[in-house]
Amino acid sequence: MSVTAVMTPQAIAAFIAETIDPVFATIDAWRDILEAELTGDEEPTAAYVDPIVSALVHPALEGPGLITGAGFVAAPGYFADAHWHLAWWLAGNGTRSAGGVRRLEAESDPESENFRDYTGLEWWRVPARTGTRHLTGPYVDYVCTDDYTITVTTPVRVAGEMVGVVGTDAYAARLEQELRQVIRGAGTPCAVVNASGRVVTATESRREPGSMLRIDGLAEALAPLREADPAGVSVVLSGGQTVLACGDTSLALVTGV
């Protein structure tokens, strides 16, 4: 996108939402399919679900777009044949340039030193608490790529119970590239941050992706995002900065930084 004129914060926030909304739509469709497949299954198994997940995510990983990893992560004990289970696939070695799609080999033995209890991680913990989708990151993804990553997850429910999350990964650098040019159209220094105030991208190079944006009042202004309430984020801070939710992405645009 070529930015030739100053854009309003509202227009920039809308552009950010439109960039990420297709990823949300994809995840929501996967969730609906998995919930339908699992409803009525009295003894669900990983052996049954894995081919379904594989068929769902492969087109997204093989085609154009932001997604570099995707899949389903089961609630511990949900599957009869796998207490801990990740059905997750990556584009090549985590980048589309490598070609092909490969499955993530995750350690499922709690006795192994490489085992990680994923229920303590943000991309699981927040959807489990709020009951809705969540954008985690940028963070260093030591499970999949060892690189700065954005993860979007949403709960999968059967009979009202969360049985896992379905989601996607995208390299933070790729999303930053998508968004940086448009935020430069604000005509003032600004940043895009997640619900915790962590920078996704910014007009100022000193504000690196993954760093915390520390401004008085920002944490309080972003609090509604942490409870999946983007409508509550449209404020002017005491220092004159504006904070505006980017749709329901759980991201916010902060201008005047």
Cα–Cα distance measured from residue 95 to residue 113, given in angstroms and rounded to the nearest whole number = 27
In a domain, 1, yes or no: no
In a domain, 207, yes or no: yes
pLDDT of 6 higher than 90? no
In a domain, 81, yes or no: yes
126 and 44 part of one domain: yes
117 and 30 part of one domain: yes
64 and 132 part of one domain: yes
Domain stop point among 171, 195, 225: 171
In a domain, 4, yes or no: no
pLDDT digits (tens, 9 = 90+) for 12-34: 999 999 999 999 999 999 999 99
Q: Band of the pLDDT at 224, cuts 50, 70, 90? A: very high
88 and 194 part of one domain: no
3-state secondary structure (DSSP) of residue 162: strand
Closest to 175 in 3D by CA, of 37, 78, 68:
68
217 and 101 part of one domain: no
Which backbone phi and psi does 221 adopt, to 5 degrees?
Answer: -65, -30
Q: Kind and range of the H or E element at 202?
A: strand 199-202
164 and 219 part of one domain: no
124 and 251 part of one domain: no
In a domain, 149, yes or no: yes
In a domain, 3, yes or no: no
Burial of 4 (C-beta count, 10 Å sphere; 0-12/13-18/19+):
exposed
pLDDT digits (tens, 9 = 90+) for 71-101: 999 999 999 999 999 999 999 754 444 458 9
- Find tokens 């669900």 and name the residue: 44
Domain stop point among 122, 151, 171: 171
- Residue 40's CATH number: 3.30.450.20
152 vs 74, 134, 158, 233, CA distance in Å?
A: 15, 6, 20, 20
* Residue 97: predicted pLDDT: 47
* Under 8 Å between Cβ of 30 and 165: no
pLDDT digits (tens, 9 = 90+) for 129-159: 999 999 998 988 766 666 789 999 999 999 9
Cα–Cα distance measured from residue 46 to residue 153, given in angstroms and rounded to the nearest whole number = 19
Structural tokens at position 24: 């949300």
74 and 147 part of one domain: yes
* Residue 232: predicted pLDDT: 82
CA dihedral 34, 50, 127, 222 (to 10 degrees): -110
Structural tokens at position 147: 């690189």
The strand pairing partners of 166, in sequence order, are: 72, 154
Structural tokens at position 192: 């895009």
- Residue 226's CATH number: 3.30.450
Could you tell me the pTM of the whole model? 0.90
141 and 45 part of one domain: yes
Percent of the chain with pLDDT over 70: 93
* Under 8 Å between Cβ of 140 and 126: no
Closest to 162 in 3D by CA, of 132, 123, 122, 128:
128
156 and 187 part of one domain: no
CA dihedral 45, 50, 56, 60 (to 10 degrees): 140
159 and 210 part of one domain: no
* Residue 125: predicted pLDDT: 95
Query: Residue 57's domain spans which residues?
Result: 20-171
165 and 179 part of one domain: no
Structural tokens at position 28: 């929501």
* Residue 5: predicted pLDDT: 65
Domain stop point among 171, 202, 225: 171
In a domain, 106, yes or no: yes
Cα–Cα distance measured from residue 149 to residue 171, given in angstroms and rounded to the nearest whole number = 5
Cα–Cα distance measured from residue 173 to residue 175, given in angstroms and rounded to the nearest whole number = 6
Cα–Cα distance measured from residue 145 to residue 152, given in angstroms and rounded to the nearest whole number = 15
In a domain, 72, yes or no: yes
* Under 8 Å between Cβ of 151 and 137: yes
Per-residue pLDDT, averaged over 27-49, amounts to 94
Domains in the chain: how many in total? 2
Q: Band of the pLDDT at 161, cuts 50, 70, 90? A: very high
